[in-house]
């Protein structure tokens, strides 16, 4: 089908020649040829016998008749078999559309459904009939929903119809949508004198960024602004400004505070831009953004993460992807509610990802009256809640605009979570994201088989009474002051490690459980009771294997109601348990390696951690000379003096032994206590000997104590005579 500025939609793909289009667009008709002749010539000149089935143009009745005459002529030719085409068997309809507005025609061409307002000829039978019924059901007089060419043609051929226009849309401001969910009323509530408006709560917007310069979104970025932090994952920089408007629109629904008022107008925002300038949003960027929000939850008091992004899939419990679940679980386990759009693909049996994840609250859009489900909303497994999502006007760039879809419904739930979390916190209690989801489901308004959120009912279910000042409950602060190891510097395997845990109750006394973890594994759980004292010490003796260990003490925060400071409920210590080690020693008698086992990091004196090379040293001990200074002649009764000179040619020698042999008999064994390498030493002896001939011999290392490399030089001897006092007995008597 062709719009008002075009000529034909034909049975095949060829349109009428451009000349005819130009004539009809300009309204110029040649004076010397009829319109019928021009159309006939244009068809014949096109080289194709395609038949126009729909001509859209405001023509006079005369022109219309001429065009219909040509079409009828061509239809007759088709029936006679004079022309053919691949759609020749199709039923051919022809009509000139002149009653519908261009917007209606465009939407029908694009196969969109359009709500039209039908105006009838005054005085016609149908106009009279509609007038008689108007008092009871005024909408039936003029309003129809059409979605096809056939329906439009049927209206066009109705002689009573004079005009077909699109039903005008008046956009729904946030100020109009908020009352549907009770948001406007809840914003008038107070708790302990403080308005319930999201003050102190922060919502992470994982989307296309936020135009933080919009006055309704604070006008600035960073500390002290409404948009307190954020990051641009698409461009990898610190400016998460929104180039397309989608993320800004979502942010405004959550927390706008200006001309546009969001659900939680005093809440803060985190701008996590994960979509590029073309609107493509990469999973890796989303994963990083969600991780950042979880990691910074305590710093910014992040209570919700809202994601108006999806992959358009139709997933059930069994087919839902999981590639980002670990990141979302991290946030979920911290009590953060993650809201995600179910999608707008009209799926009936499943929703998109990440909405289908078990760690996410999946949100669909309610319809125009907010008590049904919008037709385009994905539904089925996993759809948890509905919220307004039709024609929502919110912040857009530095101004405002209107958008529709589950993307708009999702931030309604995130903003509602901020209000509920603020109420619970100010009342002195806690509530998790999962508990907020359950509360909104239990109190929601039935809409198309699902629950549309109702904040007033949700607050009533908590026992809230308007503007009440609740009694402040007792608060507690259980602190782990110390974790100590008595024998930390000498912890040995097979010996108990002595631990001491000091606990302190800094406020009201209570009872609490704590768990001991050894290397992230639960060792035991115990109870501390501060009924009689503000400080308690517990001790444990634990035998552990060798190696590095981490001992952690965690006070059970979940079971301590109204804990004022959870940062001191956990403490850990890292320590080493010394192993059984082997120590080595070289036996210098046998020149073999001896081993022993010991506990700890040190070997006893004389032992080493590293196995030594146990090899006997090499020696070359030489008896260089033996001298007798009084050898000429030694006499009986006088001591014979000997000088023995030793040389050590190689390694140092300790406790060198040598034998002193006289006439073949060892008369003495002596020791050189220290004999340096490459050195020489002299020993002196005096012996009393009988007269006669004697042999004096020195033998070094006779018991082979050392590894001698040259045994030919480690002994030496000398022969000498000892004479009596009778000179005549001397061999030199009588000689000159």
What residues act catalytically? Answer: 207, 246, 407
Both tokens of 103, joined, read 């917007």
**What strands lie across the sheet with 161-166, from one edge to the other?**
143-146, 114-120, 161-166
* DSSP summary character for residue 46: T
Both tokens of 343, joined, read 């999608």
- CA–CA separation, 350 vs 378, rounded Å? 7
CB 499 within 8 A of CB 485: yes
- CA–CA separation, 80 vs 136, rounded Å? 53
- Exposed, middle or buried, 457 (CB in 10 Å: 0-12/13-18/19+)? middle
- CA–CA separation, 147 vs 140, rounded Å? 18
Percent helix, strand and coil across the chain, each to the nearest 5:
25, 35, 40
- CA–CA separation, 391 vs 367, rounded Å? 10
Helix H or strand E encompassing 481? strand 478-485
Q: Quick check: bond before 354 cis, omega within 30?
A: yes
Both tokens of 193, joined, read 């004198």
- CA–CA separation, 241 vs 252, rounded Å? 14
Both tokens of 10, joined, read 């034909």
- 287, 576, 582, 606 from 610: Cα distances, Å: 50, 21, 9, 12
Helix H or strand E encompassing 128? helix 125-133
3-state secondary structure at position 65: helix
Contacts of 177 (CB under 8 A, 6+ apart): 370, 388, 392, 412
Tell me, rounded to whole angstroms, the distance of Cα 10 from its chain centroid.
Answer: 55
CA atoms within 13 Å, Cβ hemisphere of 561: 8
HEC profile of 639-694: EEEEEEEEEECCCCEEEEEEEEEECCEEEEEEEEEEECCCEEEEEEEEEECCCEEE
């Amino acid at each position: 089908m062709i719009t008002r500025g075009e000529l034909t939609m034909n049975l095949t793909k060829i349109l009428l020649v451009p000349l005819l289009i130009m004539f009809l667009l300009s309204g110029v008709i040649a004076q010397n040829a009829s319109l019928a002749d021009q159309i006939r010539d244009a068809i014949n000149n096109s080289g194709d016998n395609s038949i126009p089935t729909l001509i859209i143009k405001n023509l006079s009745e005369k022109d219309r008749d001429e065009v219909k005459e040509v079409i009828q002529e061509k239809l007759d030719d088709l029936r006679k078999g004079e022309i053919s085409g691949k759609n020749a068997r199709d039923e051919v309809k022809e009509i000139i559309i002149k009653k519908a507005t261009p917007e209606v025609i465009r939407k029908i061409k694009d196969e969109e459904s359009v709500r039209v307002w039908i105006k009838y000829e005054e005085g016609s039978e149908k106009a009279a009939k509609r007038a008689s019924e108007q008092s009871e059901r005024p909408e039936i007089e003029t309003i129809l929903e059409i979605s096809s060419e056939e329906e439009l043609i049927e209206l066009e051929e109705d002689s009573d119809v004079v005009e077909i226009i699109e039903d005008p849309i008046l956009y729904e401001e946030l100020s109009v949508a908020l009352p549907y969910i009770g948001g406007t009323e809840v914003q008038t509530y107070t708790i302990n004198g403080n308005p319930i408006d999201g003050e102190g709560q922060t919502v992470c917007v994982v989307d296309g960024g936020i135009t933080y310069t919009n006055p309704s979104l604070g006008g600035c970025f960073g500390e002290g602004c409404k948009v307190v932090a954020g990051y641009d994952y698409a461009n990898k920089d610190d400016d998460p400004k929104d180039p397309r408007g989608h993320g800004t629109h979502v942010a405004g629904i959550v927390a706008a505070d200006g001309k546009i008022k969001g659900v939680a107008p005093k809440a803060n925002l985190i701008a996590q831009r994960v979509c590029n300038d073309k609107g493509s949003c990469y999973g890796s960027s989303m994963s990083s953004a969600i991780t950042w929000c979880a990691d910074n939850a305590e710093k910014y008091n992040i209570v919700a993460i809202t994601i108006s992004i999806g992959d358009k899939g139709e997933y059930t419990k069994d087919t839902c992807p999981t590639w980002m679940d670990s990141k979302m679980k991290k946030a979920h386990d911290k009590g953060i509610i993650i809201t995600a759009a179910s999608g707008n693909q009209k799926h009936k049996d499943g929703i998109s990802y990440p909405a289908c994840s078990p760690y996410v609250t999946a949100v669909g859009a309610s319809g125009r009256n907010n008590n049904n489900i919008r037709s385009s909303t994905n539904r089925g497994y996993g759809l948890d809640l509905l919220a307004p999502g039709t024609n929502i006007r919110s912040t857009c760039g530095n101004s405002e605009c209107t958008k529709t879809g589950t993307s708009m419904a999702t931030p309604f739930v995130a903003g509602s979570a901020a209000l509920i979390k603020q109420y619970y916190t100010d009342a002195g209690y806690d509530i998790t994201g999962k508990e907020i989801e359950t509360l909104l489901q239990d109190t929601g308004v039935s809409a198309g088989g699902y629950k549309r959120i109702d904040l007033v009912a949700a607050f009533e279910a908590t026992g809230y009474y308007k503007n009440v000042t609740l009694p402040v409950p007792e608060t507690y602060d259980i602190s782990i002051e110390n974790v100590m190891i008595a024998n930390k510097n000498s912890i040995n395997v097979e010996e108990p490690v002595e631990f001491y845990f000091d606990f302190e109750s800094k406020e009201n006394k209570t009872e609490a459980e704590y768990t001991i973890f050894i290397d992230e594994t639960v060792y035991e759980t115990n109870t501390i009771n501060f009924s009689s004292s503000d400080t308690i010490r517990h001790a444990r003796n634990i035998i552990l294997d060798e190696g590095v260990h981490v001992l952690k003490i965690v006070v059970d925060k979940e079971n301590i109601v109204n804990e004022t400071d959870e940062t001191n409920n956990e403490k850990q210590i890292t320590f080493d348990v010394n192993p059984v080690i082997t120590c080595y020693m070289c036996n210098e008698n046998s020149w073999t390696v001896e081993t022993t086992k010991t506990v700890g990091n040190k070997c006893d004196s004389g032992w080493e951690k590293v196995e030594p090379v146990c090899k006997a040293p090499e020696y070359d001990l030489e008896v260089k000379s033996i001298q007798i200074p009084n050898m000429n002649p030694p006499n009986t009764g006088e001591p014979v003096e000997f000088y023995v000179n030793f040389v050590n040619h190689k390694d140092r020698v300790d406790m060198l032994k040598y034998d002193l042999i006289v006439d073949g008999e060892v008369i003495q064994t002596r020791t050189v206590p220290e004999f340096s390498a490459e050195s020489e030493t002299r020993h002196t002896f005096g012996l009393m000997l009988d007269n006669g001939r004697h042999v004096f011999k020195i033998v070094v290392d006779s018991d082979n104590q050392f590894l001698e490399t040259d045994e030919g030089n480690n002994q030496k001897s000398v022969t000498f005579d000892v004479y009596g006092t009778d000179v005549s007995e001397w061999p030199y008597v009588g000689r000159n």
